Structure 1
């Protein structure tokens, strides 16, 4: 007889094999995952991949067009744009992961507590959620970032404070369905406490939907972070943040287009990859949304 640990490992391997099998049937989603994996490798190995230092200035080579020496050209300070894009991948992934790790658990806890307890608790939590949702997320993030001060850390906090309501609404909707299932009722009859019910029976059923929603939200996180950087409220110079690079390059758009276009292309393809990966992940984790 197999041990519980061996059985859990077998289920994990089987689940991963099934997920990879489904992903192989989604070539567009596979492209998204492979592109994100490539970006992750670039972010980790940035010092080895980048041909130049991202902060090294050479005014004698300022505003050079793309060439064999500088594949993406140089900016107004003579810094290699490709090297700055490579190092900027680290900032982008740091922002996305930090916001996701804050927004996911926070929204999940608020949503399942509101959905399970109901009554006045549900009403209060959902009214707070509605108030936050009533403001455009970018405007609210700008307000928080301006109040907290410019910087990458404050940008992460500002985006997180505007991103949890959508996760909370989703978790609450899932909880309203799960709390009436037979296995939850059976656990309640056997004396399971509310905390145990929420942690072991309800939350695991909500996590797949939350993960999918977080993946789909990552493109929005990138765009919001870029907008904050563009307005000077994100990562501060000389950090190679893509939004800040677009902001500094907008002055040279007419004659030196590559200074602003190259980071814009990086934002475009990264956001697209997260959306494609999110769509594929939704089809894998939630059969109700599978394409016919």
Structure 2
């Protein structure tokens, strides 16, 4: 008995690695999921090695080269201030990943905690917590984010806070629905008979069962986060100039888009590609974590 506990992690680690490898292999075999993986990998690499990939300083202005069309010196052309659009897109990948990462690590735990607690206890606790969730769900996420940013002040940090405050309700709803299916299971009843506290049951028995569905939802939600961040940037409520945020780049370039199409085309394609990649990756991840698909493999 004394040797059982030290050896337990050694058995869990290979299982976790094997499960991860199987999921990645499944995703790589699906063309749509593979596209999502490739785009995500490229986004991460571009963000990490931005100083090496960018050909120009993304902030330095050069009015003599303003509104140049794509050429050998400026792959995606220049904007109205002579800044290299390719370099600004490369550094903008860092902003996009920052928004996605910070929103996810805030939204995931809050939504998971809110939903599992409401679903496990039920009754008045469930009623009160779900009515709060319904209040947030009754407003369009972009409109509610705009209201929060307007109250907090335009900035990238406040935009991230606003997006996080409006993105957790769907996660909470999903976690609650999953918890309602698990809370009357035999292993939950056995844990209660053994004297486990509600907090321990939720953390050790219910949360792990909800994680796959929540992970899929978070992946699919990332596309909405990107579009909301771009929308706030487009309206001047997100990242402020001269930060190379993709939505803000479209906002400044729309005044010249008739004659200088590249100002909005390339940032728009970047937003489209990354949003589509996360949607396709989320769909593939849902299939990979489906027990029926797992049994077929």
The reply to whether TM is greater than 0.5 is yes
CA contact (8 A) 1:282 1:289 kept: no
**Correspondent of 1:61 among 60, 65, 83:** 65
Counterpart CA distance in 2 for 1:22 and 1:242 is: 32
Does 2:252 align with 1:271? Answer: no
SS at match of 1:156: helix
SS at match of 1:150: coil
Counterpart CA distance in 2 for 1:284 and 1:226 is: 30
Q: CA deviation at 1:25?
A: 2.7
Q: CA deviation at 1:172?
A: 0.1
CA contact (8 A) 1:62 1:79 kept: yes
Deviating beyond 2 angstroms after TM superposition, the runs of 4 or more aligned structure 1 residues are: 286-290
Distance 1:189 1:136, change over 3 A: same
Q: For residue 203 of structure 2, what is the aligned residue in structure 1?
A: 199
**Correspondent of 1:99 among 97, 103, 109:** 103
CA contact (8 A) 1:54 1:83 kept: yes
Q: CA deviation at 1:16?
A: 2.0
Does 2:253 align with 1:249? Answer: yes
**Correspondent of 2:182 among 178, 182, 192:** 178
Q: CA deviation at 1:253?
A: 1.1
Counterpart CA distance in 1 for 2:21 and 2:66 is: 51
CA contact (8 A) 1:85 1:242 kept: yes
Counterpart CA distance in 2 for 1:289 and 1:255 is: 50
User: Which whole-Å deviations, capped at 9, do the CAs of 1:119-144 have from their partners, x for residues lacking one?
Assistant: 00100011111111111111100000
Does 2:88 align with 1:84? Answer: yes
Does 2:230 align with 1:229? Answer: no
Distance 1:288 1:112, change over 3 A: farther
Gap regions ≥5 residues in structure 1 = none
Q: For residue 214 of structure 1, what is the aligned residue in structure 2?
A: 218
Counterpart CA distance in 2 for 1:288 and 1:180 is: 23
User: Which whole-Å deviations, capped at 9, do the CAs of 1:20-47 have from their partners, x for residues lacking one?
Assistant: 3322331210120121011101001101
CA contact (8 A) 1:43 1:87 kept: yes
Q: For residue 18 of structure 1, what is the aligned residue in structure 2?
A: 22
Counterpart CA distance in 1 for 2:225 and 2:215 is: 14
CA contact (8 A) 1:208 1:286 kept: no
Gap regions ≥5 residues in structure 2 = none
Q: For residue 45 of structure 1, what is the aligned residue in structure 2?
A: 49
CA contact (8 A) 1:111 1:169 kept: yes
Q: CA deviation at 1:17?
A: 2.7
Q: CA deviation at 1:183?
A: 1.1
SS at match of 1:48: helix
CA contact (8 A) 1:209 1:286 kept: no
RMSD: 1.5
Q: CA deviation at 1:188?
A: 1.1
- Output the TM-score relative to the length of structure 2: 0.95
Q: CA deviation at 1:288?
A: 5.8
Larger CA deviation: 83-92 vs 278-287: 278-287
Aligned length: 291
CA contact (8 A) 1:151 1:233 kept: yes
Q: For residue 289 of structure 2, what is the aligned residue in structure 1?
A: 285
Counterpart CA distance in 2 for 1:288 and 1:160 is: 33
Counterpart CA distance in 2 for 1:288 and 1:134 is: 35
